Structure 1
Amino acid sequence: MRANFRMQRLFIDAPLGEGLAHEAGSDHFNYLINVLRMQDGDEVLVFNGYDGEWRARLVQPSRKKLVMQAIEQTRPQTPLPDLHYLFAPLKVGRLDYIVQKAVEMGAGLLQPVMTQHVQGKITSLERLQANVIEAAEQCGILSVPSVLAPVKLKDMLETWPAERRIIFCDEGEESHNPLPILNAITERKLSLLIGPEGGFSDEERRLLRSLPYVTAIPLGPRILRADTAAVAALAVVQATIGDWASTD
């Protein structure tokens, strides 16, 4: 069942069920009452990542208090997508962007990866998780991906489960067309690895290409910025072997 985009959707960190009420925090209170000018009796959609989506009525017992009371489940809970997004951190503004777009494009887990040429850094996992939640609210999904703590590329590969294939975007590929390579992949457990603005080092490329569970793909004839490459790669993976191509 597709999301109802005519109603306001909010993530709340509380259990949901028929009749359960959740008092809005200051951020939700300000957004609903002062920004959207909603009133007592208006309705919103709420979700928490595990109880599905619910239609909730706003109850304002006093001028400074707002309660969201769940009335009816509108959609049952869905599982997280099984596409993992592995990315070298970028500078802050662009980092926020790629986190949001990864969620919109169907990533089920986000793993920052520290590479030799990485230029950005993770200063706040809370900020990145807030970006995940905002994207989830906007794009209508019910499951909320997690952002893991950063890990060095070499350390990650040393303990990587061989049954999950890593697709990495390699500007050194001789071909420009990723489709034949992607269509030859038979595994369903997938991860997409996007390098830093400076690209992978020669040492990192050799290491990745030496591993049997890693597949390198090109992304066309042009050099793409890291944030552009992230969206392009997610789109082509989803369209060929991901959930866009699913017949379920």
Structure 2
Amino acid sequence: MRENYTLTRLYVDTPLNAGAAVTLEPAQAHYLGTVLRKSVSDTVRIFNGHDGEWAAEISMLSKRGGSLIVTDPLRRHHDAPDIWLVFAPVRKHRTAFIFEKATELGVSKFVPVITARTQFAKLNTDKARAQIIEAAEQTERLDLPEVAKPKKLDSLLDNWDKGRRIIFADEAGGGHSVLDILRNYSGPCALLIGPEGGFTEAERDRLLNMDCVDAVSLGPRILRADTAAISLLTLWQSAQGDW
């Protein structure tokens, strides 16, 4: 119900059902007790990514931790649309931006890919998951997008499921109008964004020769990788997603 949206919302890694006890992480207890000044018997909202959203009452709160008792169901679970974001990691703060904003925009899976020009190949998936959880808590998502381990582009394409089409943001300008492609799209899809500096000619050739790839243009300007990712995902959601 709408009035519940004002309640604090937390992700918990615990099965949820009426009467269940939930142990809070120390950071969550600190946030509730010290930052928000919550106390025992106050109500919060919780979700775990697959059991929907529930109301829960604070049963214990201290500096070292706390606990909740699950009370009432609020919303049934539903998954985001089946859209993957395949992207080359960039600088830490820009990669964090991609995780945060793409989670807000409803991506279902992140697939980091290492290309010939990827400058920042290392990716802390635990930190990425924390960024995703925070974004999901703030934006009313009931599910959490998956984060795959980084994989080299050739290896990824070698094992690609041809039933999932790839929309390739071609910075070289040879792609079709993105809206023309998206308006006639259906089925599982992945959005592919390259690194700063773009794909090599060999990488482009391989992609363009795959039957499951559609190259699209994002306009006359060269966009940063994070801008391109969010722009393409926004267009996809408008044409094919849950908007």
Q: Structure 2 CA distance, aligned partners of 1:218 and 1:184?
A: 16
The alignment yields a C-alpha RMSD, in angstroms, of 1.8
Q: State the 1:155 CA deviation.
A: 0.8
Q: State the 1:2 CA deviation.
A: 7.6
Q: Structure 2 CA distance, aligned partners of 1:3 and 1:169?
A: 41
Q: Structure 1 CA distance, aligned partners of 2:2 and 2:222?
A: 36
Deviations 1:142-199 (A, max 9, x none): 11111111111111111111111000101122468421122233x3111101111111
TM-score (norm 2): 0.94
Q: State the 1:113 CA deviation.
A: 0.4
Give the secondary structure class of the aligned counterpart of 1:5.
helix
Q: Structure 2 CA distance, aligned partners of 1:141 and 1:61?
A: 26
Label 1:108 to 1:62 Cα distance change in 2 as closer, same or farther (>3 A).
Answer: closer
Label 1:63 to 1:159 Cα distance change in 2 as closer, same or farther (>3 A).
Answer: closer
Read off the aligned partner of 1:214 and give its amino acid letter: V
Structure 1 partner of 2:189? 190
Structure 2 partner of 1:51? 51
Q: State the 1:242 CA deviation.
A: 2.3
Read off the aligned partner of 2:242 and give its amino acid letter: D
Matched, 1:227 2:226: yes
Read off the aligned partner of 2:211 and give its amino acid letter: P
Label 1:175 to 1:167 Cα distance change in 2 as closer, same or farther (>3 A).
Answer: closer
| Residue pairs, 1:27-106, within 5 angstroms | 27-60=27-60, 64-106=64-106
Label 1:153 to 1:20 Cα distance change in 2 as closer, same or farther (>3 A).
Answer: same
Give the secondary structure class of the aligned counterpart of 1:141.
coil
Preserved CA contact (<8 Å) 1:9 1:137: yes
**220-229 or 53-62, which deviates more:** 53-62
Preserved CA contact (<8 Å) 1:3 1:140: no
Read off the aligned partner of 1:139 and give its amino acid letter: T
Aligned-residue identity in percent = 41
Label 1:170 to 1:3 Cα distance change in 2 as closer, same or farther (>3 A).
Answer: farther
Read off the aligned partner of 1:12 and give its amino acid letter: V
Structure 1 partner of 2:171? 171
Structure 1 partner of 2:209? 210
Preserved CA contact (<8 Å) 2:26 2:66: no
Deviations 1:97-144 (A, max 9, x none): 101111111110111000111111234110011111111111111111
Give the secondary structure class of the aligned counterpart of 2:154.
helix
Runs of 4+ in 1 over 6 A off after TM superposition: none
Preserved CA contact (<8 Å) 2:169 2:192: yes
Preserved CA contact (<8 Å) 2:175 2:215: no
Matched, 1:200 2:199: yes
Q: State the 1:4 CA deviation.
A: 4.6
Q: State the 1:45 CA deviation.
A: 0.4
Read off the aligned partner of 2:152 and give its amino acid letter: K
Label 1:120 to 1:136 Cα distance change in 2 as closer, same or farther (>3 A).
Answer: same
Q: State the 1:241 CA deviation.
A: 2.1
Q: Structure 1 CA distance, aligned partners of 2:61 and 2:208?
A: 62
Q: State the 1:5 CA deviation.
A: 3.2
**169-178 or 157-166, which deviates more:** 169-178
Q: State the 1:89 CA deviation.
A: 0.5
Read off the aligned partner of 1:69 and give its amino acid letter: I
Label 1:37 to 1:207 Cα distance change in 2 as closer, same or farther (>3 A).
Answer: same
Structure 1 partner of 2:127? 127
**171-180 or 191-200, which deviates more:** 171-180
TM-score (norm 1): 0.92
Q: State the 1:9 CA deviation.
A: 0.7
Q: Structure 1 CA distance, aligned partners of 2:66 and 2:11?
A: 15
Label 1:142 to 1:226 Cα distance change in 2 as closer, same or farther (>3 A).
Answer: same
Gaps of 5+ in 1: none
Deviations 1:29-68 (A, max 9, x none): 1000011111111111000111110001112276755211
Gaps of 5+ in 2: none
Count residues with an aligned counterpart: 243
